[in-house]
Amino acid sequence: MIYLDNAATTKVFDSAITAAERAMSDGFFNPNATYKHAVSVKTEIDKCRQTIASAIGATGDELIFTSCATEANNWVFEHGRKSPKGNVVISAGEHPSVYEPAMRLASRGIDVRIAPITRDGKVDENAFSKLVDENTSLVSVIHVSNETGTVNPIKKLSYIVRKKAPRALFHSDGVQALLKTHERLDSLGVDLYSASAHKLGAPKGIGLLYIRRGITIAPFMLGGGQERNMRSGTQNTPYIAAFASAVQQFSAFEKNNNISDIRDELCAYFSDYGCKIVGGDNSGYILCVHFPNVKAEILQNLAADNGVIIGKGAACSGSKRGNRVLAAMGLSEKEIECCVRISLFPNITRDDVMEAAGIIISAADSIRSNNVG
Ligand code: PLP
């Protein structure tokens, strides 16, 4: 099987499984107890936090572990607004875990403004700049689109926010960007940043919220005061260990592979076949491809029958019809139905990817010749 749906989730690294197993067996103690065995588990958690922080350009005290990025995003929308009445600005390219909490604020009477995205999938900077004002309390813009891999210029947008809305907090959903864009968190100008471990070779069920030093937001979960009183609940020590281990493994593979070159070759191959590549400036990890007159769902299933797994829109909204983000980029419903998402991982080989591309093209050919697309 050649797995090319890494934007949905990734296969867990063996080293991450080993780290989790060790934390579950030798390190099973409650990290918040006071005897020495427990204290050493707490020390381990902080070492993991430090490992992740150094890899992403943060400090350990800026990272709060959560159960997933959806939790981190919900936290930001519930408690990350500078004033309860100010307006909120998001982009039209947001993942549902940002978009839906923003819509909930709108339903409570908050002025939620949606900055359009352009045909290449990026935030329209002019429109964005007009929406942000001195009454803005929170801005949230996705760093890398989970649909197309398009990278938003977060640093540039943060300047706009600082200038026009000095009191607003600036959040970015970095789930598809972390360790993939080579931008350090401390250089982005964000106050809050969400990430998820299962896109990096760790298990599902662990994520984090970066809260820049000096920024205060209210805790999301109240209770025993874990995670510096910011997120109560006994820490998921096995998955924290797996997260830190996966970050190290991912970074090591990243150094030795040139994903962007593989993606460029893939783009050229599909373009020669008559496909359109959807979205601009790319992280290198995601490719959204439009196959004219070939329904994505049929192509996805036929490719899977032939051993190649590809995606079709955000996996977590797989049950919802249409695609809000691609529609915001100006694609028609018919075009959207014919878009698949191919997403890479740093330990993938160029030969596997190109073999998969051949299988996908053969599947598209056979769908066209059977006239079922
Ligand atoms: N944000 C983006 C951009 C995503 O791609 C995803 C997952 O697909 C999420 C948020 C949600 O992450 P989690 O599964 O950790 O809740």
- pLDDT tens column, 124-175: 999 999 999 999 999 999 999 999 999 999 999 999 999 999 999 999 999 9
Ligand 1 centroid vs 136 CA: distance in angstroms?
25
**320 pLDDT band (50/70/90 cuts)?**
low
Alpha helix segments (H runs only) across the chain: 14-24, 36-56, 69-79, 96-107, 125-131, 154-164, 237-255, 259-272, 296-305, 324-328, 333-337, 350-369
Average pLDDT value for residue range 213-234: 96
> Could you tell me if 283 and 254 are in contact, meaning their C-beta atoms sit under 8 angstroms apart?
no
pLDDT digits (tens, 9 = 90+) for 255-275: 888 999 999 999 999 999 999
Q: Reply yes or no on whether the pLDDT at 115 is more than 50.
A: yes
What percent of the chain stands above pLDDT 90?
92
> Could you tell me if 4 and 356 are in contact, meaning their C-beta atoms sit under 8 angstroms apart?
yes
Average pLDDT value for residue range 331-356: 96
Residue 117 β-bridge partners: 123
DSSP string, 12-30: PPHHHHHHHHHHHTTT-S-
Q: Is the CB of 95 under 6 A from ligand 1?
A: yes
pLDDT digits (tens, 9 = 90+) for 47-59: 999 999 999 999 9
Task: Establish how many alpha carbons lie within 13 A of residue 263's alpha carbon, considering only the half-sphere containing its beta carbon.
Answer: 25
The pLDDT, as a whole number, for residue 322 is 77
Ligand 1 centroid vs 173 CA: distance in angstroms?
8
Q: Reply yes or no on whether the pLDDT at 318 is more than 60.
A: no
The pLDDT, as a whole number, for residue 281 is 86
Which of 285, 260, 261, 140 has its CA nearest to residue 199? 285
Residue 88 β-bridge partners: 112, 138
Structure tokens at 86: 């100010």
**373 pLDDT band (50/70/90 cuts)?**
very low
**Cα of 101 vs its chain's centroid, Å:** 16
On average, the pLDDT of the chain sits at 95
Query: What is the residue with the minimal CA distance to atom 8 of ligand 1?
Result: 8
The pLDDT, as a whole number, for residue 257 is 83
Q: Is the CB of 196 under 6 A from ligand 1?
A: yes
Ligand 1 centroid vs 70 CA: distance in angstroms?
6
> Could you tell me if 369 and 317 are in contact, meaning their C-beta atoms sit under 8 angstroms apart?
no
Ligand 1 centroid vs 228 CA: distance in angstroms?
24
Give the whole-angstrom CA distance, residue 329 versus residue 122: 9
Q: Reply yes or no on whether the pLDDT at 17 is more than 80.
A: yes
Determine the 3-state secondary structure of 222 from DSSP. Answer: coil
Q: Is the CB of 207 under 6 A from ligand 1?
A: yes
Sheet of 63-66: strands edge to edge? 63-66, 207-211, 192-196, 169-173, 136-140, 87-91, 112-115
Burial bucket for residue 366 (CB in 10 Å: 0-12, 13-18, 19+): middle
- Residue whose CB lies within 8 A of the most ligand 1 atoms, among 175, 206, 220, 343, for a mutation test: 175
Ligand 1 centroid vs 144 CA: distance in angstroms?
11
Ligand 1 centroid vs 7 CA: distance in angstroms?
9
- 142's enclosing H/E stretch is none
Write the CA distances from 355 to 133, 138, 206, 253, 295, integer angstroms.
50, 45, 33, 21, 21
> Could you tell me if 129 and 96 are in contact, meaning their C-beta atoms sit under 8 angstroms apart?
no
Q: Is the CB of 173 under 6 A from ligand 1?
A: yes
**313 pLDDT band (50/70/90 cuts)?**
low
Structure tokens at 173: 């959903």
Ligand 1 centroid vs 196 CA: distance in angstroms?
7
196 or 281, higher pLDDT = 196
Query: What is the residue with the minimal CA distance to atom 5 of ligand 1?
Result: 146
Give the whole-angstrom CA distance, residue 87 versus residue 93: 18
Least confident of 32-46, 256-270, 305-319: 305-319
- 125's enclosing H/E stretch is helix 125-131
Q: Reply yes or no on whether the pLDDT at 68 is more than 70.
A: yes
CB atoms near residue 9 (< 10 Å): 18
The pLDDT, as a whole number, for residue 370 is 86
